[in-house]
Amino acid sequence: MKNLAIAIHGGAGTILRTSLTPEKEEAYKAALQLALDQAYQLLENGASALDAVEKAVSVLEDSPLFNAGKGSVFTAEGTHEMDASIMDGSNLQAGAVSTVSGIKNPIQLARNVMDKSDHVFLCGKGAEEFAKAVRSKTETNDYFYDQLRYDQWQELKGTDNFQLDHSTTKEQKFGTVGAVALDENGNIAAATSTGGMTNKKFGRVGDSPMIGSGNYANNETCAVSCTGSGEFFIRAVVAYDVSCLMEFKGLSLQEAIKEVIQNRLLKIGGDGGLIAIDRHGNISLEFNTEGMYRGAKNSKGTNEVAIYE
Ligand code: ASP
């Protein structure tokens, strides 16, 4: 039997049972299940882990519920600046973009950087130029407008504060999206995409597009996609640290992510979580917040989505 697996997340944070209506909860679960099903279908048809994670993240980017693609938060200037990255564990190829505007699916642009340029990481105007060259699908500002995101921004507008869109005790919380997968050839991959933090300025970039911080994949160890306060994930080099603990200390996937999320990250005050997979198909979903939108599906019969602890 083929050993196939996919795991996804839609952000971690203060997601309390009392803060989501049953309808909202169902909407999140349905969006997560759709991404899982579409990506898993690809894997069943023989697609690579890379194609599967790109698909899962694209589906989540197209949903207004998550802080990525269509649902991206507002910057201090009232714009949307998106970050994304993708990595192939079979050959350590990677692609990333940051602070891009108007791109419908930043994860697909990151994939194009990997496949069609000699570079790994393109940012801002340059990345948008490149997007034109590879004919990335673009959208106007209206597409990215969301009343809720706008209201979140209004609360912070004009201040020096910026925040995770799901870090307060407010009613609505949404998040960065990511996926990790294992394909029939035993290859693993990771993808992460985000709108970053509400009211961010000065070209702020989080961990999501940074290879080794918010995203990493290596067949020898694991594939990881993170979500949380990016500044901490960058300083703790979270995704690569998980890989290093497996490679150099011989920890299992579960031991490694526990150490990083529940110990090292917490020690420096970092909140968030990650999803990870190894080449045997072991999946781990770990967070040190109240909740994380997440899901996993594999050829051994697992098929679940969850929000709270
Ligand atoms: N990690 C993302 C960032 O800092 C935010 C998130 O996970 O929601 O940009």
Full set of structural domains in the chain with CATH: 5-308 (3.60.20.30)
Is 271 touching ligand 1 by the criterion CB < 6 Å? no
pLDDT on residue 171: 35
Is 207 touching ligand 1 by the criterion CB < 6 Å? yes
pLDDT band, residue 56 (cuts 50/70/90): very high
pLDDT on residue 14: 75
pLDDT on residue 102: 97
CA 250 to ligand 1 centroid distance, Å? 29
Identify the sign of the CA torsion 226, 229, 233, 234: positive
Tokens of 44: 């069943």
- Segment of 154-158, 283-287, 289-293 carrying the highest mean pLDDT: 283-287
Give residue-wise pLDDT tens across range 185-232: 999 999 999 999 888 999 999 999 999 999 999 999 999 999 999 999
pLDDT on residue 165: 57
For residues 159 and 44, the answer to whether their CB atoms sit within 8 Å is: no
Q: Which residue has the higher pLDDT, 265 or 149?
A: 265
Tokens of 268: 């420096």
CA 231 to ligand 1 centroid distance, Å? 9
Q: Which of 19-28, 110-119, 144-153, 233-242 has the lowest mean pLDDT?
A: 144-153
Q: Which amino acid residue places its CA nearest to atom 4 of ligand 1?
A: 230
Ligand 1 pocket check: which of 60, 193, 197 to mutate, most ligand atoms within 8 Å of Cβ?
197
Active-site residue, selected from the candidate residues 176, 192, 227, 289: 176
Q: Which amino acid residue places its CA nearest to atom 7 of ligand 1?
A: 227
Q: Does the pLDDT value for residue 46 go beyond 70?
A: yes
pLDDT on residue 225: 98
Ligand 1 pocket check: which of 208, 226, 231 to mutate, most ligand atoms within 8 Å of Cβ?
208
Q: Which atom of ligand 1 is nearest to the CA of 229?
A: 4
Q: Supply the DSSP symbol for 275.
A: E
User: Does 99 participate in catalysis according to the annotation?
Assistant: no
Give residue-wise pLDDT tens across range 65-85: 999 999 999 999 999 999 999
Exposure class string for 109-147: b at 16+ Cβ within 10 A, else e: bbbbbbeeeeeebbbeeebbebbeeeebeeeeeeebebe
Q: Which position has the token pair 């901490």?
A: 232
Q: Which residue has the higher pLDDT, 15 or 201?
A: 201
CB proximity list for 91: less than 8 A, separation 6 or greater: none
Q: Does the pLDDT value for residue 152 go beyond 70?
A: yes
Q: Does the pLDDT value for residue 172 go beyond 50?
A: no
Is 230 touching ligand 1 by the criterion CB < 6 Å? yes
Q: Which atom of ligand 1 is nearest to the CA of 165?
A: 8
Mean per-residue pLDDT, 42-49: 98
What value does the mean pLDDT of the chain take?
93
